[in-house]
């Protein structure tokens, strides 16, 4: 609420006479306070007879019959004004009173600026305040006093800023012209450009909060300096983050959690391992361990994992995710032996990338990728051809393979296949045939590949083969949903889709399913994945596509045996209700939400 809102409220609750009296009492109080604190009172004699006030200078005995203490200060300081300079005052007193005059002048200018900011449309404009009451601004054009300005600032801190999403904007912001808004935008943009701040920082949640906080204080806000940002504010922010982590830790007991490890090497060739903890509330970074001076065998890694499990709480940990190297796999097995309720599994995204990498090493796929790269290079190395394609309706750029991710090879093949008709139209167009680019030595190979129907058929088949794997990789590599309940179904559907593409001809689909089975049996075939598959109603209630392999229920029962400490018979009875859609599981609301709500 602004100060004007407080004025409006007071005017409704008190008669005008009382308001005037209160204002005069406040003014006299301020004057008496000033009389005690202003240094000029030490050098004059003040007398008052009735309403007549006189000020006598102690240096030159000059008598002032009006003008107040300000006029007397001009007399002592020798300032050009309404009084003649004192010729007998010492230099120290002249300097101090001059500084006092300049300080008073600065405060008045500051108060006038605040007043202009709060009343941009004049002193008599009625403004709608945050409590939807009209605020009657005083008719006087005199800017508010220091006390009034402080009251305005304090009152604003108790209400949401006008820049909050969905809030009704102030009249000042509504009536602001496009030029004013553009000038503010330029100032913000200049700050970003001069300091090389990435533009996507504007998408941060904290960006709008910062603008809201500055706008709620109004003009006069003094930004934190370099020292404050690197000391006090940094410590305060660390405390806030710690509170956030503590709130996540309170949910570890209720829902359980997963410990995740991430090994990497920094620029100093140090072997670092980051430990993070995941729960449905969010991911918390716990610590980073420098493992450069230890041998990363199964025993030492298991000791590191045990130390972190003890820190989190053995009863709170359900799952451990690490690299799929042999030493990490052995360490995970040792941890499971020590804590039978903690299951180990490798990073699903990394394993899927290895599956795609193995498929990419096949002779057919390498040949297709090489010819697709020839098309991409030829197009992007000739601006004339690229300009022709960009004029085609619905054209999007061709995705090129990345150097580190195996999936990008197949994404690039899909992008090439999507542009088949555009590329065919290019090589058969009169514009291209009559251009000098058609006589380029590399153009012959480019045209041959584009017009090769077998090339496009093979690309289409490969894209269909890897589509389920790329889709699963998108799920497990994202942060928008828990992916544990999707791994088993994703791999099962991938093998089933490959068999359907080749019409169940074993000689054709076996090379691809063998690659998937090798990685699946070696790394991802885990009981925890089977249990999560059963507990995902989206898949379990889809009886037509549900896997009927014995390992599914065996994995579910094994996890049930290790995770349930209490009455297991009661839990099995509840599991039967879930399997048969009985009770609460059979209600229409629960059935309707199966395909919309994500599993926990």
For 286-341, how does the pLDDT look when each residue is reduced to its tens digit (9 = 90+)? 889 888 888 888 999 999 999 999 999 888 899 999 988 888 989 999 999 999 88
- In this predicted structure, what is the pLDDT of residue 33? 41
189 secondary structure, DSSP code: H
Strand, helix or coil for residue 322: strand
Residue 46's pLDDT band (cuts 50, 70, 90): confident
Laid out side by side, the sheet with 44-49 consists of 44-49, 52-57, 63-64
With a cut of 80, say whether residue 121 has pLDDT above it. no
**pLDDT over 70, % of the chain:** 80
**How far is it, in rounded angstroms, from Cα 547 to Cα 94?**
96
- Higher-pLDDT residue of 128, 492: 492
Nearest CA-CA partner of 44 in 66, 67, 81, 69: 69
- Higher-pLDDT residue of 185, 15: 185
Q: Quickly count: other Cβ atoms within 10 Å of residue 573's Cβ.
A: 10
68: left (phi over 0), alpha (psi -120 to 50) or beta: left
Burial of 8 (0-12, 13-18, 19+ CB in 10 A): buried
Q: What is the CATH number of domain 239-346?
A: 3.30.420.60
Q: Quickly count: other Cβ atoms within 10 Å of residue 181's Cβ.
A: 11
CB within 8 Å of 526: residues ≥ 6 apart: 343, 344, 345, 555
In sequence order, the β-bridge partners of residue 319 are 258, 343
Q: Quickly count: other Cβ atoms within 10 Å of residue 105's Cβ.
A: 10
Cα 44–49–54 angle (5° rounding)? 30
End-to-end CA distance of the chain: 43
With a cut of 50, say whether residue 80 has pLDDT above it. yes
Strand, helix or coil for residue 217: helix
**How far is it, in rounded angstroms, from Cα 539 to Cα 73?**
87
- In this predicted structure, what is the pLDDT of residue 153? 46
> Lowest-confidence range among 153-167, 195-209, 450-464, 491-505?
153-167
Domain boundaries, the chain: 3-153, 164-223, 239-346, 387-592
Mean pLDDT computed over every residue of the chain: 79
C-alpha dist (Å) from residue 74 to 90, 98, 103, 108: 14, 8, 13, 16
- Higher-pLDDT residue of 583, 391: 391
Compute, in degrees rounded to 10, the torsion defined by CA atoms 541, 544, 549, 553: 10
**How far is it, in rounded angstroms, from Cα 81 to Cα 54?**
18
Nearest CA-CA partner of 538 in 579, 594, 590: 594
Compute, in degrees rounded to 10, the torsion defined by CA atoms 573, 575, 580, 583: 70
CB 312 within 8 A of CB 252: yes
- 3-state SS string for 395-410: CCCCCCCCCCCCHHHH
With a cut of 50, say whether residue 18 has pLDDT above it. no
**pLDDT over 90, % of the chain:** 21
pTM: 0.61
Residue 170's pLDDT band (cuts 50, 70, 90): low
- Higher-pLDDT residue of 191, 564: 191
- In this predicted structure, what is the pLDDT of residue 61? 85
- In this predicted structure, what is the pLDDT of residue 155? 43
Q: Where are the alpha helices (DSSP H) in 40-137?
A: 68-77, 91-118
Residue 11's pLDDT band (cuts 50, 70, 90): very low
Q: Quickly count: other Cβ atoms within 10 Å of residue 231's Cβ.
A: 10
Q: Which two tokens stand for residue 286?
A: 């716990």
- In this predicted structure, what is the pLDDT of residue 597? 67
- In this predicted structure, what is the pLDDT of residue 282? 82
For 21-45, how does the pLDDT look when each residue is reduced to its tens digit (9 = 90+)? 444 444 444 444 444 567 778 888 8
With a cut of 70, say whether residue 385 has pLDDT above it. yes
Nearest CA-CA partner of 278 in 260, 263, 261, 262: 260
With a cut of 80, say whether residue 151 has pLDDT above it. no
- In this predicted structure, what is the pLDDT of residue 19? 42
């Amino acid at each position: 609420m602004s100060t004007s809102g407080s004025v409006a409220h007071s005017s409704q609750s008190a008669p005008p006479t009382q308001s005037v009296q209160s204002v005069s009492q406040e003014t006299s109080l301020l004057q008496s306070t000033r009389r005690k604190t202003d240094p000029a009172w030490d050098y004059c004699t003040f007398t008052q007879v009735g309403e007549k006030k006189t000020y006598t200078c102690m240096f030159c005995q000059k008598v002032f019959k009006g003008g107040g203490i300000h006029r007397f200060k001009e007399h002592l300081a020798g300032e050009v004004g309404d009084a003649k300079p004192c010729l007998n005052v010492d230099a120290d007193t002249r300097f101090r009173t001059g500084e006092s005059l300049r300080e008073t002048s600065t405060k008045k200018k500051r108060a006038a600026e605040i007043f202009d900011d709060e009343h941009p449309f004049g002193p008599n404009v009625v403004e709608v305040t945050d409590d939807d009451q009209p605020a009657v601004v005083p008719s006087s054009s005199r800017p508010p006093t220091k006390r009034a300005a402080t009251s305005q600032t304090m009152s604003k801190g108790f209400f949401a800023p006008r820049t909050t999403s969905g809030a009704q904007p102030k009249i000042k912001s509504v009536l602001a012209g496009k030029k004013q808004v553009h000038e503010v935008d330029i100032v913000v943009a200049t700050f970003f450009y001069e300091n090389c701040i990435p533009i996507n920082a504007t998408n941060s949640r904290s960006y709008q909060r910062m603008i809201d906080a500055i706008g709620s204080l109004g003009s006069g806000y003094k930004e934190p300096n370099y020292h404050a940002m690197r000391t006090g504010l940094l410590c305060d922010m660390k405390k806030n983050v710690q509170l956030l982590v503590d709130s996540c830790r309170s949910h570890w007991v209720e829902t359980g959690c997963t410990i995740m490890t991430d090994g990497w090497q920094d620029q100093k060739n140090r072997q670092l391992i980051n430990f993070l903890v995941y729960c449905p509330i969010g991911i918390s970074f716990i610590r980073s361990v420098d493992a450069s001076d230890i041998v990363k065998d199964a025993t030492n890694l298991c000791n590191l994992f045990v130390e972190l499990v003890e820190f989190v709480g053995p009863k709170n940990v359900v799952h451990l995710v690490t690299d799929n190297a042999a030493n990490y796999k052995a360490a995970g097995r040792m941890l499971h032996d020590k804590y039978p309720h903690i299951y180990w599994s490798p990073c699903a995204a990394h394993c899927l990338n290895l599956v795609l990498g193995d498929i990419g090493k096949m002779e057919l796929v390498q040949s297709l990728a090489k010819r697709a790269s020839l098309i991409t290079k030829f197009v992007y190395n000739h601006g004339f051809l690229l300009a022709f394609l960009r004029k085609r309706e619905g054209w999007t750029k061709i995705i090129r393979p990345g150097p580190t991710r195996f999936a990008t090879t197949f994404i690039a093949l899909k992008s090439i296949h999507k542009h088949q008709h555009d590329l065919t139209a290019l090589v058969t167009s009169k514009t291209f045939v009559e251009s000098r680019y058609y006589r380029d030595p590399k153009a012959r190979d480019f045209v041959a590949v584009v017009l090769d129907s077998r090339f496009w058929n093979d690309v289409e088949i490969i894209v269909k083969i890897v589509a389920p794997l790329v889709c699963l990789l998108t799920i497990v590599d994202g942060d928008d949903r828990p992916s544990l309940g999707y791994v088993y179904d994703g791999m099962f559907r991938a093998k089933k889709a490959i068999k359907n593409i080749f019409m169940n001809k074993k000689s054709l689909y076996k090379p691809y399913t063998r690659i998937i089975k090798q990685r699946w049996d070696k790394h991802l075939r885990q009981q925890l994945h089977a249990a999560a598959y059963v507990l995902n109603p989206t898949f379990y209630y889809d009886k037509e596509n549900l896997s009927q392999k014995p390992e599914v229920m065996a994995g579910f029962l094994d996890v049930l045996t290790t995770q349930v400490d209490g009455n297991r018979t009661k839990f099995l009875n509840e599991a039967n209700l879930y399997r048969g859609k009985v009770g609460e599981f059979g209600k229409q609301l629960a059935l309707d939400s199966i395909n919309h709500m994500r599993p926990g």
